[in-house]
Structure 1
Amino acid sequence: MIAFFDKYTENAGKLQETMRCMGEDAKIAVLSGEGFLPSGILSPYDFFSYGSRQGEFAEKDLFYNFIPLPEFWEVRLTGGTGGIFDMGCEKAKIYFREPAEKRNVQRVEWHMEDGWVYKIDYYNKYALKYASEFLDTERNVESRVYYSEKNQEMVVEQPVNHMISLLDRGMVRKLFDSRAEFIAGYLEEAGLREEECVLFVQEEKTFEDLSLTSEAGKMWTKVLFSDPGLLNQYAGMGGTNGFRFYEIPEQYRENHGRGEAMILTASDRVEQIEYLISVLPEMRFHIAAHTQVSDKLRKLEESGNVRVYPQISRQDLDMLWDTCDFYLDINHYYEIYDAVNAAHTRNQIILGFDNTVHHRELLADEGIFAEAEQEKMAFTIRELMANPARVQELLGAQQKKKREIWQDLWMRRENGHGI
């Protein structure tokens, strides 16, 4: 299987890790021209620019003083950036990779005297200029060129009409009318045509860039989404092969059933929260929201075993993910921070009521309670806090849920139906 990403993010590593857990192998290819992809990540642009020669290149940084320049031009540092000058007149700005204090080049923006940036040169992990963007006066990209290691133009992309040309010694050897055709051409020339092709969508613009709902979209056996909103949008456009991506970590964090529970909510309607707080004084409840909270929620702190986090910070949220062993999916209305999936990945015990669960498919059957079974939920929580063996039993059933989703997904290789 080869999975294409619109851009390289941590989701690529998560997919590879998940596939390893399922006993499958996945090649990763990135559809945007990026100069610092990790080793082993495929790129159609690198393939057409360098071919098999890429394995011969040594990785190295380009120090700003070594940018190739015309005779008598010079480079100067100008604060946190650099500048290229001719006879005292600045021709371009140099922007550095992080950490910027090392002064290694990431891109060079060439500009006219009036400030119009007409070209941006990009440098890669081999210290080569691998691409240039040519811009209009509104800073829209009119064309994008990818180069060989000898600075020969190899790929020319015109984003406005989605046309992509392959060049050989300055002559067009192949012309593609769309990015979908370009990808098909890459698979053919790279000997990957027999691979199952999966697309991982992370941005809305990918729908248009790859014409997903047209005939061209049929090249993808599956379209994966980490964002449920994008998945719903795709389904609304008629997409039938879209699936939610659920990460399976190679190793789950330890969970000992400690008396720390978190709830993420977008409203003050939290099912049976007053009852649970009162009958479980040994449990500390952390209730967090991404907005300000009502007096109703704030008043819960009077119980002594509750802390409320209005407009929770990223630091506090990360702290709760690390310290809480229970996640209570008992808030009404919509979910925030992809909470249930995040709790599952972090191996928290997830419990919820029939009328509040947001992702039933991720909860163990015994973790879901009828609306009126608050006493049974409280009993279960108390039992889990006292019995480590029960904790591991429930977590085992919970972890099995994601594996079943993936097993079902890969059993559908032939029919292409989504969920």
Structure 2
Amino acid sequence: MINLFENLDVASTDFLRSQLFAGLNIPSVVIHDDGFLPKEVDSPIKFYCKVTDKNTPLYFDKVKIPKFYRIVATAQKGEIFDLHQKKADIVFAATDNNRLVKEVRWLDDKGQLSWIDHYNREGRIFAKTYVNNGQEVLRKYFDNEGKAVIVHYLVAGDILLFDDDETRHFSNLVQFMQYYLRARHYKVDHIFYNTLNQSMFVSLGMGEKGSDTLFWHEKLGEELPGNMTYLSKNGTRTKHVVFENYLDWEKWKNKLPKGGKLDFRFLGMIYPHARGNKLRPEAVILTNSDQIEHLQEIVEALPNINFHIAAITEMSAKLLAFDKYNNVHLYPNATPKRMKDLYQSCDIYFDINHGNEILDAVRGAFEQNMLIVGFKNTLHNPNFVSPDSIFEVDQVNDMAHRVNEALEDAKKMQKFVDDQRLTAGDTTVENYQKVIGALNNE
């Protein structure tokens, strides 16, 4: 049995972490390795390029640049200049202001993307992507000595593997992954996968007898995806589809195909919950923007609540002006310790800022069992917010009423927090073990 992830994105990470919480030690393989996979997750890049477990990523000011070039950086990104001409963009590995390098995207004299240097958790260039007229055409992966080990022709799809003085050719990524899984002697009798793209096609083409499971986390539209319909009508290795999105499961569970080739069921995620809600009138907002929806109206509608507004950058004069309110506390250039302290001392999170989410703010509030409220046009992660806590932009009074209602009644606060946990599909270790165990026995 293995987990086969296309990318180690948030959904895949949650899936893997839920297994670990449940004491399930299932080998995990990622098709697209971004260079920052954790130690316990494998990939063909790691294996064939002999990547070590060192965790010393490159800080932005250590990027090698030509003489007289200079690097300029903010908390979100870096840039490389030759005098006043921009030569490259630096992409960071995370949004927590650590400024560790993931990519350097080099530009030609016309300002168009020319090639990309991909850095890994060892702080070295482990891959290069070459670009022609705006299209990524070729990617090379290197070992520790800088020798090209894997060459991927991105347009045609062909892959060359240089392994033990032998060159192997694969017509596409799916063939390459199937070869890799066999070469590594993984047990592929049961593959857990969570996309209907390349990981599904790897499952379809394995050939050996097996009973595979699709774990489906993406939000559905008005129809089932075409590939899921194909699986339901044709006899393949995939025998089960497990919905991980609770709201979609409630919407679809009575409309799913019956009597076909697939068994459908639901299983959420196991989320850590560091503490319970203590009903304190303390609220937090994390933002790197001064565009906070109806902030003045909310602050004035809830004078009984202390609003703690923090940013990992400087704050504009517009936002600093809110210091005139006795119940508003501002934290520009907030340190990680400050952020941690705020999450320990607050019991309400207002997801009302425009712009990008920072530090997985909503997810963090959810795991601390804060009551999360937000507007439809500002939500950053609705999977962790109860539908009853999401408001139209003109419903400031309704939002304020819900917050006051929760603070005044411990039972209501508990219900509101339980509702958002239900929305997120929060489940127990015991239930997780039960469902996975049943899948393995069917």
Which TM-score band applies after superposition, normalised by the shorter structure?
0.5 to 0.7
Q: What code does the residue aligned with 1:38 have?
A: P
Match of 1:324 in 2: 413
Match of 2:148 in 1: 153
Aligned to 1:412, what secondary structure does the other structure show?
helix
Match of 2:132 in 1: 136
How far did residue 287 of structure 1 move?
4.0
- Correspondence 1:119 to 2:115: yes
How far did residue 223 of structure 1 move?
1.5
Pairs within 5 Å for 1:14-413: 14-50=14-50, 54-55=52-53, 57=54, 59-61=56-58, 64-65=61-62, 67=64, 73-78=67-72, 80=74, 81-83=78-80, 85=82, 92-95=87-90, 97=92, 104-137=100-133, 139-168=134-163, 173-194=167-188, 196-201=190-195, 207-210=196-199, 212=201, 215-216=204-205, 221-229=212-220, 232-233=224-225, 234-239=227-232, 241-245=240-244, 246-249=268-271, 254=276, 287-291=388-392, 306-307=401-402, 324-327=413-416, 340-342=422-424, 345=426, 403-404=430-431, 407-413=434-440
Instruction: Evaluate the alpha carbon distance shift between residue 95 and residue 257 of structure 1 in structure 2; reply closer, same or farther with a 3 A threshold.
Output: closer
How far did residue 125 of structure 1 move?
1.8
Aligned to 1:235, what secondary structure does the other structure show?
helix
How far did residue 148 of structure 1 move?
0.9
Instruction: Evaluate the alpha carbon distance shift between residue 163 and residue 341 of structure 1 in structure 2; reply closer, same or farther with a 3 A threshold.
Output: farther
d(CA) in 2 for partners of 1:96, 1:256: 39
Instruction: Evaluate the alpha carbon distance shift between residue 213 and residue 32 of structure 1 in structure 2; reply closer, same or farther with a 3 A threshold.
Output: closer
Instruction: Evaluate the alpha carbon distance shift between residue 68 and residue 152 of structure 1 in structure 2; reply closer, same or farther with a 3 A threshold.
Output: farther
Instruction: Evaluate the alpha carbon distance shift between residue 403 and residue 67 of structure 1 in structure 2; reply closer, same or farther with a 3 A threshold.
Output: same
Is the Cα contact below 8 Å between 1:155 and 1:166 reproduced in 2? yes
Give the share of equivalent positions with the same residue, in percent.
Answer: 15
**Runs of 5+ consecutive residues of structure 2 not aligned to the other structure:** 233-238, 245-267, 281-347, 349-370, 377-385
d(CA) in 2 for partners of 1:99, 1:220: 39
Instruction: Evaluate the alpha carbon distance shift between residue 341 and residue 179 of structure 1 in structure 2; reply closer, same or farther with a 3 A threshold.
Output: farther
How far did residue 181 of structure 1 move?
1.9
d(CA) in 2 for partners of 1:177, 1:153: 18
How far did residue 58 of structure 1 move?
5.9
- Pick the structure with greater CA Rg: 1
How far did residue 134 of structure 1 move?
1.3
How far did residue 141 of structure 1 move?
1.4
Aligned to 2:192, what secondary structure does the other structure show?
strand
Instruction: Evaluate the alpha carbon distance shift between residue 63 and residue 42 of structure 1 in structure 2; reply closer, same or farther with a 3 A threshold.
Output: same
d(CA) in 1 for partners of 2:102, 2:387: 43
Q: What code does the residue aligned with 2:80 have?
A: G
Q: Normalized against structure 1, the TM-score is what?
A: 0.57
Q: What code does the residue aligned with 1:75 have?
A: Y
Is the Cα contact below 8 Å between 1:94 and 1:105 reproduced in 2? no
Say how many residue pairs are matched: 303
d(CA) in 1 for partners of 2:375, 2:59: 48
How far did residue 412 of structure 1 move?
3.0
Instruction: Evaluate the alpha carbon distance shift between residue 153 and residue 213 of structure 1 in structure 2; reply closer, same or farther with a 3 A threshold.
Output: closer
How far did residue 326 of structure 1 move?
0.8
How far did residue 405 of structure 1 move?
6.4
d(CA) in 1 for partners of 2:144, 2:18: 35
Is the Cα contact below 8 Å between 2:177 and 2:202 reproduced in 1? no
Q: What code does the residue aligned with 1:236 have?
A: T
d(CA) in 1 for partners of 2:375, 2:40: 41
Match of 1:312 in 2: none
Aligned to 2:402, what secondary structure does the other structure show?
strand
Q: What code does the residue aligned with 1:92 have?
A: K
Q: What code does the residue aligned with 1:83 have?
A: I
Aligned to 1:187, what secondary structure does the other structure show?
helix
d(CA) in 1 for partners of 2:121, 2:88: 20
Q: Deviations over 1:245-290 (max 9, x none)?
A: 31123668548999x9x999999xxxxxxxxxxxxxxxxx994335
Cα RMSD over matched residues?
4.8
**Runs of 5+ consecutive residues of structure 1 not aligned to the other structure:** 202-206, 268-284, 310-316, 331-337, 346-398
Instruction: Evaluate the alpha carbon distance shift between residue 189 and residue 220 of structure 1 in structure 2; reply closer, same or farther with a 3 A threshold.
Output: same
Q: Deviations over 1:283-314 (max 9, x none)?
A: xx9943354579xx98xx6xx995389xxxxx
d(CA) in 2 for partners of 1:7, 1:243: 19
